[in-house]
Amino acid sequence: MKLTILGCNAATPRNNAQTTAQLLEINGQLVLIDCGEGTQLQLRKFGIKFARIQHIFISHLHGDHFYGLIGLISTFRLLGRTADLHVYGPKGIKEIITLQLKLAKSWTDYALYFHELDSDQSCLVLDHEKFTVETLPLDHRVYTNGYLFCEKAGKRKINTTAVADYGVEVADMENLKQGKDIQLAHGDWVKNSVLTFDPEPPKSYAFCSDTAYKPDLAELLKGVNCLYHEATFLEIHQDLAVKTKHSTASEAAQIAANAEVKQLILGHFSSRYPDRNEFLVQAKQYFQDVHLAEDGKGFQIS
């Protein structure tokens, strides 16, 4: 599982600081998380193949999180896309996008599916053969969800020494990977656990975009491998965080500590702060393994 930050600035894009967008590679699949203005330029800049994106998840309908979506959808059409595209987001996103396509007479040549969300409870929104996605209800000025991405367990790993010792045939390898016991040529059965190793433990990534401090969120995040949590403000502007329903770096770190996550990434920084190192300083009062998002930065989630 690998995360690439395409943009992490709050409100407006700046030079070398684009608005929110992330690309997550999970079990060989690429998903786009939020799509701020200029996202398609960032995809090009970092060499991402557009055609590999099959699912787009939008957290909420504030411009710095989805104004790049119509442009990306249109570019897919111009590039001759034929594969289906699935967009997940708050109720209303279908109306916004289809109105623009209608008035521009630019209907897509590929199937465009909208999965509109309005539940205030966590729910499963995608059950892919390789991963699942659940919503994380947040507390912002408009209806907002984060998303929890979880790998499905992979196939078992072949113990090459053991299969050679037992004379297992090549034709049986796929059954072994699927956890099945094997009958040898002379009729004896061998337990799968003798011939294989456990697969890598499934990994998880949680994306929590714009939200006020929400302590009960920690229960939905228990033990995730990596948490991205917005940290728009420093403690000096706690009053602004409350007023605008955003979080401080300290509050994001408290969520990470209470959820016992393995790693925390902070992002969605206000442009009012020239030195972002203070976000690390304040967050590390509560949680140690913390990193700052940065355009183009990659994180290997383990």
Residue 34 falls in which region: left (phi positive, over 0), alpha (psi -120 to 50) or beta: left
User: 148: which DSSP letter?
Assistant: E
How does DSSP classify residue 230? E
Tell how strand 189-190 and strand 226-230 pair up: unpaired
Taking Cα atoms as reference points, which of 128, 112, 300, 275 lies closest to residue 205?
300
**CA 123 to CA 135: how far, in whole Å?**
5
Whether 64 is a known active-site residue: answer yes
Measured over the CA atoms of residue 237, residue 242, residue 248 and residue 251, the dihedral's sign is positive
Neighbours of 67 (CB within 10 A): 17
The one catalytic residue in 64, 109, 239, 275 is 64
> What residues form DSSP beta bridges with 206?
148, 227
Contact yes or no for 96/65 (Cβ under 8 A)? no
CB of 104 closer than 8 Å to CB of 132 = no
Measure the CA–CA gap between 175 and 159, rounded to whole angstroms.
13
Residues annotated catalytic, as ranges: 64
